[in-house]
């Protein structure tokens, strides 16, 4: 089911559509997502009435990005509980929908634990469902607060690293309000720099094959009035060589205990380029993206996605890309061509200048520093 966001605010600016919201119409509670497969062409809501619909939305990337996946997972558990489905089964389906972003399982576990604790204390099913929903709402709020703190800390770090005060920042994938309860991670830092008058340009990698940079980051940059320029992923090298990049800012889907960073495929080559060109490479992520239980980069499961995302220009639902109807696809390789399509890659800690979290900035990135950061955030 889809609903169309419409209207303009009194200032004539289109309001930013909510990325994820909980609604309780008479037919029963629903999770409504801004369908990110339809952006930037259309701002369309996707109404999920049950967990399989939400799992599908996660797998097709209608809802995506590590922190938002955690929030969606938590609301998914609340949805299952409120509609009287088997909550443990729903939690397992949600947590297994995509493997790499650690936040998804984290959000699911938080809502599930709240539901269990209420049930164990003798709460009626409706009250236990309410406990799961409250926990999802709490996670949503916490993520918004984390965004604000990361933006402030990240801007402070940029100013320290680049005293000139007019930053040209390269980013990859999408890390703004579309992935978060707040303004996002890496994009939130760029936005803070823009609002402080210190962002000269945001270089936006298109991010093949699903174009999160072109479709989503450019959409957010345009909405917020940033000076931005889109480039193909493979143009980044020449941009560094021309001396046009002062810093790289990216998000993360999982940070291992040794500081290895899993993020959108194409991040690692940027880190290598940054090292070669002596440009700071900064990862911005909430503490919920750190996974102390994963020892190193090699232990992070990398999601492999269908080859059709590479061999066809317009995958199912990506109407915004070519202006075609959802489902239409144009082959860009001979029929039967096999494609290598990992969704993420791993950047080793020695290539990362700093990790910015809401609890502090880690530089250099070491296993000891990660451990200390996690311990500190538990005290906050």
Question: Which CB, 212 or 353, lies closer to ligand MRU?
Answer: 212
Q: Least CB distance from residue 144 to ligand MRU, whole Å? A: 13
User: Is 264 annotated for ligand binding?
Assistant: yes
Q: Least CB distance from residue 214 to ligand MRU, whole Å? A: 12
**Do 181 and 71 meet the contact criterion of CB atoms below 8 Å apart?**
yes
User: Is 64 annotated for ligand binding?
Assistant: yes
Q: Least CB distance from residue 203 to ligand MRU, whole Å? A: 15
User: Is 103 annotated for ligand binding?
Assistant: no
Question: Which CB, 72 or 239, lies closer to ligand MRU?
Answer: 72
Q: Least CB distance from residue 212 to ligand MRU, whole Å? A: 5
User: Is 66 annotated for ligand binding?
Assistant: yes
The pair phi, psi for residue 342, each rounded to 5°, is: -70, 140
In the block, tokens 């250099």 appear at 364
| Candidates 205, 253, 291, 345; catalytic one | 253
Question: Which CB, 72 or 114, lies closer to ligand MRU?
Answer: 72
Catalytic residue flag (residue 246): no
User: Is 164 annotated for ligand binding?
Assistant: no
Residue nearest to ligand MRU (CB): 251
Q: Least CB distance from residue 379 to ligand MRU, whole Å? A: 24
**Sign of the dihedral through C-alpha 231, 278, 280, 65:** positive
Question: Which CB, 251 or 320, lies closer to ligand MRU?
Answer: 251
Three-class HEC string of the chain: CEEECCCCCCCCCCCCCCCEEEECCCCCCEEEEECCCCCCCCCEEEEECCHHHHHHHHHCCCCCCHHHHHHHHHHHHHHHHHCCCCHHHHHHHHHCCCCCCHHHHHHHHHHHHHHHHHHHCCCCHHHHHHHHHHHHHHHHHHHHHHHHHHHHHHHHHHHHHCCCCCEEEEECCCCCHHHCCCCCCHHHHHHHHHHCCCEEEEEEECCCCCCHHHHHHHHHHHHCCCCEEEECHHHHHHHHHCCCCCEEEECCCEEECCCCEEEECCHHHHHHHHHHCCCCEEEECCHHHEECCCCCHHHCCCCECCCHHHHECCCCCCHHHHCCCCCCCCECCCCCCCCCCECEEEECHHHCCEEEECCEEECCCCHHHHHHHHHHHHHC
Question: Which CB, 67 or 280, lies closer to ligand MRU?
Answer: 67
Binding-site ranges for ligand MRU (CB under 6 A): 61, 64-67, 101, 173, 175, 179, 185, 212, 251-253, 263-264, 343
Provide the 10 A C-beta neighbour count for residue 222: 11
Question: Which CB, 67 or 349, lies closer to ligand MRU?
Answer: 67
Question: Which CB, 66 or 313, lies closer to ligand MRU?
Answer: 66
Whole-number Å distance between alpha carbons of 184 and 232: 23
Q: Least CB distance from residue 313 to ligand MRU, whole Å? A: 18
Q: Least CB distance from residue 324 to ligand MRU, whole Å? A: 21
Whole-number Å distance between alpha carbons of 152 and 174: 19
Whole-number Å distance between alpha carbons of 63 and 36: 6
**Do 251 and 261 meet the contact criterion of CB atoms below 8 Å apart?**
no
Which residues are catalytically annotated? 253
Annotation: binding site for substrate = 64-66, 98, 212, 263-264
């Amino acid at each position: 089911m889809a609903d169309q966001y419409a209207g303009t605010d009194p200032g004539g600016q289109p309001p930013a559509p909510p990325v994820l919201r909980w609604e309780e119409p008479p037919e029963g509670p629903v999770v409504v997502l801004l369908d990110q497969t339809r952006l930037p062409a259309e701002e369309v809501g996707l109404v999920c009435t049950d967990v399989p619909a939400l799992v599908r939305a996660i797998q097709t990337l209608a809802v995506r990005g590590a922190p938002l996946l955690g929030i969606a997972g938590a609301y998914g558990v609340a949805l299952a509980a409120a509609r009287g489905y088997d909550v443990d089964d729903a939690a397992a389906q949600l947590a297994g929908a995509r493997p790499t972003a650690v936040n998804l399982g984290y959000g699911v576990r938080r809502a599930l634990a709240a539901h269990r604790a209420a049930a164990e204390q003798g709460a009626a099913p409706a009250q236990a469902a309410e406990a799961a929903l409250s926990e999802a709402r709490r996670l949503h709020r916490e993520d918004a607060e984390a965004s604000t703190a990361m933006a402030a800390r990240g801007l402070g770090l940029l100013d320290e690293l680049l005293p000139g005060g007019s930053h040209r920042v390269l980013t990859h994938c999408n890390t703004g309000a579309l992935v978060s309860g707040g303004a996002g991670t890496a994009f939130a830092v760029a936005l803070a720099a823009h609002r402080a008058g210190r962002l000269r340009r945001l270089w936006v990698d298109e991010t093949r094959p699903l174009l999160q940079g072109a479709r989503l980051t450019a959409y957010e940059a345009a909405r917020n009035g940033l000076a931005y320029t889109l480039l193909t992923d493979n143009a980044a090298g020449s941009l560094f060589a021309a001396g046009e990049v002062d810093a790289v800012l990216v998000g993360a889907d999982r940070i291992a205990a040794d500081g290895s960073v899993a993020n959108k495929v194409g991040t690692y080559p940027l880190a290598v380029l940054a090292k070669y060109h002596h440009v700071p490479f900064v990862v911005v992520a909430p503490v919920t993206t750190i996974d102390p239980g994963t020892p190193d980069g090699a232990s992070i499961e990398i999601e492999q996605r269908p080859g059709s995302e590479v061999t066809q220009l317009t995958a199912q639902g990506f109407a915004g890309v070519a202006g075609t109807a959802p489902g239409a696809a144009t082959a860009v390789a001979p029929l039967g061509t096999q494609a290598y399509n990992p969704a993420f890659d791993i950047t080793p800690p020695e290539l990362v200048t700093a990790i910015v979290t809401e609890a502090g900035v880690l530089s250099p990135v070491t296993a000891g520093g990660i451990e200390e950061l996690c311990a500190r955030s538990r005290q906050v």
